[in-house]
Amino acid sequence: MTSPAADSRPAEWIAVLDFGSQYTRLIARRIRELGVFSELVHHDVSAGELRERRPAGIVLSGGPRSVKEGEAPRCDPGLLELGVPVLGICYGMQLMAVMLGGEVTRGERREYGPARVKVREPDVLFRDLPEELEVWMSHGDRVARPPEGFAVLAGTDDCPVAAMGDLRRRLFGLQFHPEVVHTPRGREILHRFLYDACGCRGTWSMPDFIHRSVEQIRKRVGSEHVLCGLSGGVDSSVTAALVHRAVGDQLHCVFVDTGLLRAGEAAEVKEVFEKGMGMDLHVVDAAELFFQRLRGVTDPEEKRRIIGATFIDVFSAEARRLGRIRFLAQGTLYPDVIESRSPTGGPSATIKSHHNVGGLPPDLQFELIEPLRDLFKDEVREIGRRLGLPEHIVHRQQHRERLPD
């Protein structure tokens, strides 16, 4: 199966370099909530690659390592010379300081929890904010001396350089975490970085995403047909609704009733998607086959393997029956893509298998359509609402098949 890179991303975007912080995804989500598309990028991305992709700004995330460790992750120094605004958060600020000739030292004690910073320079990041702010700290190292050209923007008694900035080069650092709810004015600080420092206009919204995606899918599919494995869960439901908005009757959905689903789920799927939305839905009642293959099996992992293999057999048979179909639509989400990469290793091309119809036979070679692969789950739910899916589908939690005894 092949899947070309998505081209529904807006031109205005922020690159979030991932150094392994538990908050890195939250940074990306907060930026999107503020109306600007963000993408997590491996920390070893080259300055040349980012120059070609033209981000409006760059964020260096936090991370669990110390910049004083020899094996600590670094980024291309050229990123700081692109003329693009950069915001370093926690580890990202310390890394920026070291790379530009500043000094970072180990603190006498690790600072983890709430703190109050006093704003010394209210320009840009702290414009129109109170002189004293409640923030959330999580660090062991700290910047002892900012690089040349940087001013101290804010500090605490324990961390004199809690924020720094070179206003001329639009390089900024925060020792605290603006992305967490424990920094109440953090969203405003991020907003000022995005709109004042980076000059963003705020082009990321779900209505715009739907419009771009529909046009992209329609153009790519043309007069061909699309197959979609519909489970009734959020991801496949929103995928089906979005593709159906684009190509209508050229979409063919297959729902496999395994006999292991929620009570009444097959009837509900028919009611919502076939009757309510007018989709071409093919319901395959394979409960007897599933129970036959599971009879006598007691090991839970073996049951799951059999369920997966049987699903592929049933889905493949239905795909062959429907005839030549060029495209397969899947509900891969952005977290699936993120989780297939390591912040300290190279990227992986493998997506988590439970989000794909993996293992299809060689004679079923589809081109993939993954319209949701740039979205977080909360964004997918909003897309579902805007496409008219019922609330009980939009908010459905993942269901693990009931394994028969």
Which one of the listed residues 43, 177, 244, 252 is annotated catalytic? 177
Are 215 and 317 within 8 A, CB to CB? no
Alpha carbons 380 and 374: distance in angstroms, whole number = 10
Which one of the listed residues 43, 139, 159, 179 is annotated catalytic? 179
What is the DSSP annotation of 264-288?
THHHHHIIIIIIIT--EEEEEE-HH
Count the neighbouring beta carbons within 10 Å of the beta carbon of residue 307.
Answer: 17
Give first-to-last CA distance, the chain, whole Å. 36
Are 370 and 330 within 8 A, CB to CB? yes
Q: Is 179 a catalytic residue?
A: yes
Alpha carbons 344 and 27: distance in angstroms, whole number = 18
Are 155 and 117 within 8 A, CB to CB? yes
Alpha carbons 141 and 68: distance in angstroms, whole number = 9
Which one of the listed residues 90, 159, 198, 200 is annotated catalytic? 90
Q: Is 159 a catalytic residue?
A: no
Q: Tokens representing 129? A: 């904010």
Alpha carbons 191 and 57: distance in angstroms, whole number = 12
- The CA–CA distances, whole Å, from 266 to 46, 231, 400 equal 49, 9, 15
Those residues with Cβ within 8 angstroms of residue 198's Cβ, 6 or more apart along the chain or in another chain: 14, 36, 56, 57, 84, 85, 170
Q: Is 177 a catalytic residue?
A: yes
The DSSP call for residue 176 is B
Residue from 255, 230, 264 nearest 244 by CA: 230
Active site residues: 90, 177, 179
